[in-house]
Structure 1
Amino acid sequence: MRARAIMVLGTGSHVGKSLLTAALCRIFAQHGYRVAPFKSQNMSLNSAATVEGLEIGRAQALQAEAAGVAASVHMNPILIKPSGDHSSQVVVRGKIWGRVTAAEYHRRRIQELLPVVQESYDILASQYEVIVLEGAGSPAEINLKQHDIVNMRMAEMADAKCLLVGDIDRGGVFASLLGTLELLEPEERKRVRGFAINKFRGDASLLKPGVEMIEDRVQRLCLGVVPWLPSLMLEEEDSLGLPPSTQSQWPIAQTRNSEDRPLRIAVIGLPSFSNFTDFDSLRAEPSVSLLFCRTAEEIAQADVVILPGSKQTVDDLLWMKRSGLDVAILRYAPTGLVVGICGGMQMLGETIEDPSGMEHEGSVAALGLLPIRTIMQMEKVTRNAQGEMAEAVLFGQPLKDAKLDGYEIHIGHTEYKAGAKHFSILSADRSASAGKDGCISADTTIFGTYLHGIFDDDSFRHQFLGAARAYYKLSAPRELNLWKQLREDSLNRLAREVEKALDMRAIFDWAGLPYTVPVSEDTSALSQNEGVTQ
């Protein structure tokens, strides 16, 4: 039996489509249905490795987690990773398809990629009862609709009932809802069964007249108003969700020399920053103050400087040199702690060579803080991996548990110079040995690794923070998070609030499925008490 399809469309980018899709996946799963997410085309520098060792958008991995199923490459068959202002790397079914300009991609995607999208969707639809699709940007981009394979063409292909979502936090939500529907063709408009308003904060009574007027104007019902949900420990789809660092230095209270002050972590805000979600778990720790920084002043005041992953490693390295951040890092390194993740590790080495022009043709001198050299290659490495540190010592502090867990997504091959010490030994996909990973300085104050997601592991993150604080003679953290539990709690909170806010009976009816109103904890407790009394 082919799955029923519900689609979440947005009036624009960053209106909350990804998290609402995740919420619907969790709600359908909680009601006992086999559900999977799907987004035919995703543009993002945040990606994840599937169990097959293939690359998909990070948002679809989160949505699969919400649905309680393993992430599959079929949930996001096309991933576009911008390489600059005019070109992008296109990943199809988890593998590099090519590097093309926007114009080239628009010309080719209908003929060459629509069949791939159709096949992936059909595979999922044959395996699940419900598919929750996510659109991209707005379905009303009239200059792009002719070659669209992610919004209304996909809705037709899946025969999906659509929910249109507007973001009131940005302002102009009624105009954006009306404008989107007006720009759709009549047959497309019929697929939009209702709309919702997202990220609301304030007095709901002030919103009611506008909702009633727009319902009358568009002849569609508002299925609900979703409240602003602060402090969700869930990643945004792309760097629009990245909180910018507007400070030139840490607050004075955090620079005082007290033993219980927060550990100051500076993550370099590279222009082609990829997988910024690597640091969500660190940002959430009570004992940490983390900034995404672009100034020498922030680096000078940091306790730990992290060079993150990059889609354009050499270009970002050259940007650091033009900005003087390379000099700031080299001045900082002799007395501080430095970490490189993926492309950031490559920058910490001596040279980065790109003979095939995968990112930036030629050879460039790197920072020289680790005795390694990297050669860019045509084949991308994408896999989940686990292992352990070569030595259970970090920042001069012994560790009780040296195990590591994460995933690799990179095109570089790193070679070790004489005397270099590797950081860890990994096993790809928890089976065959993948050998050496990363590099660590002799005094263990500088290390690099290809592992993304390394800080999501509670044991490693807790020991990392403990070792860094001990290095600076700061007190041990008074409180430590359990990250995976926080994420699970956040997914359940998201689903609970969305289920309360939206007319879920209508959404389930669109899918032809019965809906049972959840019994609240208060109602459940009351029923139990009444039973005891009787």
Structure 2
Amino acid sequence: MRGVMIQGTSSDVGKSMICTAFCRILSDQGYSVAPFKSQNMSNNSYVTVLGEEIGRSQGIQAEAARTVAKVEMNPILLKPENDMKSQVVLFGKKLKAMDGMKYRDEFYGQGLAAIEKALAELEKNYSHLVIEGAGSPAEVNLNDRDLVNMKVAELADVPVILVADIERGGVFASIIGTLALVPNPERIKGILINKFRGDIDLFENGIEFLENYTGLPVLGVIPYLSKHEIGQEDSLGIRELAKIKNDAPIRIVVCKHPYLSNFTDIEPFLLEPDVSIIWADSIEDIGVPDILILPGTKSTIADLRFWKQQGLQEKLESLKGNIWIVGLCGGFQMLAETLADPSGYDGTIAEEESGFGLIAGMRIEFAEEKWVERRTGKTVLTGRKTAVTGYEIHSARVQSSQWPLIEYPDGNEGYLHNRILGTHLHGLFDSAEFRSAFLEPIRIAKGLPIPDSVIEYDRFDRWAQHVKKHIDWQKVEQLLGES
């Protein structure tokens, strides 16, 4: 199989971003390229055109590769429901929830077969694969049941490039320690240093040391690029991005749920020059913002109870009518009068739970079957009728929907009234036109200029060019030729 696998010395070293760049570079060269990650753990999923769930990073990488995202690109998706149990999504469909030990003991054979099937299907339809590992390949307690790193490299028979994050410190120890502990270290053919800041000439002796000590080439040192505007899968990533403009005049506070999911709905606001994003871990972090967002959650009732204990009910009552309160998916559900999940389909059993009650008469009932669908509709905001598109992914059924936000061909959805906005549609704020209409009254009230329309450009090209400029792409192509 022609391709390469990107593994990392730990989580959040930038594996997904490197894979995204490689997908675009290979696509630019005329290759038919597909991303692949055997097993992903994330509550930020991507919905394919067929209404199937895969990891968000593989959906984004498919876009970078200029191809349609398919379930074979991420055959196993684990969506954590709590600290011990995850929902298993197999080839885009919910299988069942399992704890770690049960998954390890009972699912390994089934998972391995799924990976082999997916790789075989992709090999038939693409000339190159860009494969992403997970976490670290040097987790010695997990290697006998590996479904994500060296076992996958063996199945695909591809070389591995090891990525390390220099920003977090300890880059030499992390690389050398990984090479000492990883099974089949001979499959690793090169090293990439990611997120470098400062004068790269000062790191020349570091490169020389690594190459002499490990016997592997350092294929590149990639400088940190803060405004790449490519969706993040890890919540740590978006928190770091949000720090860039935390003093801008329009203040958005986002409630950071314990079971936060689909936080990527917030990312489009980073494109706005006058918007700051602050994550609230507690009521004390909220203050009086211009916009308060309750984002998605993997366990609505569990997170609702968390915020009730914090005193968010009273805080919302004091803020409503004066600021915008936005509920997205699970956050929208929290704004209902009542919620019911007697079977625990959403993760927490509740015969009857009081919501925050900001949407009068709204009741949420959770069902076993998950609603997963891409949707396109229209909405009117600040007198402007705009098209919106995105996807819904939830098991909630809504009773009563006065003041709907979105008009679909087959009915209405969401809520918009008295500065309260709620919807199940992920990707609503991706629309620059809708975002502009939403922010315009706040800008006028604050005496801020209305910015020109956001210039649309291909963010993948910019990131890919940045990566290619700072690596030895010729050596990478040699590795691809050897696979």
The TM-score range, normalised by the shorter chain, is over 0.9
Alignment match, 2:290: 303
Matched, 1:343 2:330: yes
* Structure 1: distance between partners of 2:356 and 2:318: 11
Return closer, same or farther for 1:245/1:10 CA change in 2, 3 Å cut-off.
closer
Paired AA for residue 309 in structure 1: G
Alignment match, 2:263: 276
Alignment match, 1:320: 307
Gaps of 5+ in 1: 255-261, 428-432, 515-534
Paired AA for residue 440 in structure 2: G
Alignment match, 1:7: 5
Instruction: Write the deviation string for residues 127-157 of structure 1: whole angstroms up to 9, x where unpaired.
Output: 0110000000011100001111110110011
Alignment match, 1:500: 469
Q: CA deviation at 1:85?
A: 1.3
Matched, 1:364 2:362: no
Any conservation in 2 of the 1:466–1:476 contact (CA below 8 Å)? no
Which residues of 2 match residues 59-458 of structure 1 at below 5 A? 59-185=57-183, 188-243=184-239, 262-296=249-283, 298-358=285-345, 359-362=347-350, 363-370=352-359, 371-389=361-379, 392=380, 394=381, 397-399=382-384, 401-416=385-400, 420-427=402-409, 433=410, 435-441=411-417, 443=418, 445-458=419-432
SS in 2 for 1:512: helix
CA RMSD of aligned residues (A): 2.1
Any conservation in 2 of the 1:244–1:292 contact (CA below 8 Å)? no
Instruction: Write the deviation string for residues 499-524 of structure 1: whole angstroms up to 9, x where unpaired.
Output: 1221211211222289xxxxxxxxxx
Alignment match, 2:450: 477
Q: Highest CA radius of gyration, 1 or 2?
A: 1
Alignment match, 2:480: 511
Return closer, same or farther for 1:403/1:74 CA change in 2, 3 Å cut-off.
same
Return closer, same or farther for 1:245/1:152 CA change in 2, 3 Å cut-off.
closer
* Structure 1: distance between partners of 2:476 and 2:234: 27
* Structure 1: distance between partners of 2:449 and 2:223: 37
**Bigger mean CA deviation after superposition, 504-513 or 136-145:** 504-513
TM-score under structure 1 normalisation? 0.85
Q: CA deviation at 1:274?
A: 0.8
* Structure 2: distance between partners of 1:63 and 1:159: 21
* Structure 2: distance between partners of 1:279 and 1:223: 34
* Structure 1: distance between partners of 2:6 and 2:163: 7
Percentage of identical aligned residues: 40
Any conservation in 2 of the 1:15–1:165 contact (CA below 8 Å)? yes
* Structure 1: distance between partners of 2:476 and 2:242: 41
Any conservation in 1 of the 2:389–2:428 contact (CA below 8 Å)? yes
Gaps of 5+ in 2: none
**Bigger mean CA deviation after superposition, 124-133 or 204-213:** 204-213
Any conservation in 2 of the 1:286–1:480 contact (CA below 8 Å)? no
SS in 2 for 1:242: helix
Q: CA deviation at 1:236?
A: 2.1
SS in 2 for 1:266: strand
Return closer, same or farther for 1:206/1:336 CA change in 2, 3 Å cut-off.
closer
SS in 2 for 1:80: strand
SS in 2 for 1:213: helix
SS in 2 for 1:466: helix
Paired AA for residue 180 in structure 2: E
Q: CA deviation at 1:451?
A: 0.3
Any conservation in 1 of the 2:242–2:278 contact (CA below 8 Å)? no
* Structure 2: distance between partners of 1:237 and 1:134: 13
Q: CA deviation at 1:26?
A: 0.6
Any conservation in 2 of the 1:273–1:311 contact (CA below 8 Å)? yes
* Structure 2: distance between partners of 1:404 and 1:245: 25
* Structure 2: distance between partners of 1:112 and 1:97: 12
Matched, 1:466 2:440: yes
* Structure 1: distance between partners of 2:280 and 2:462: 31
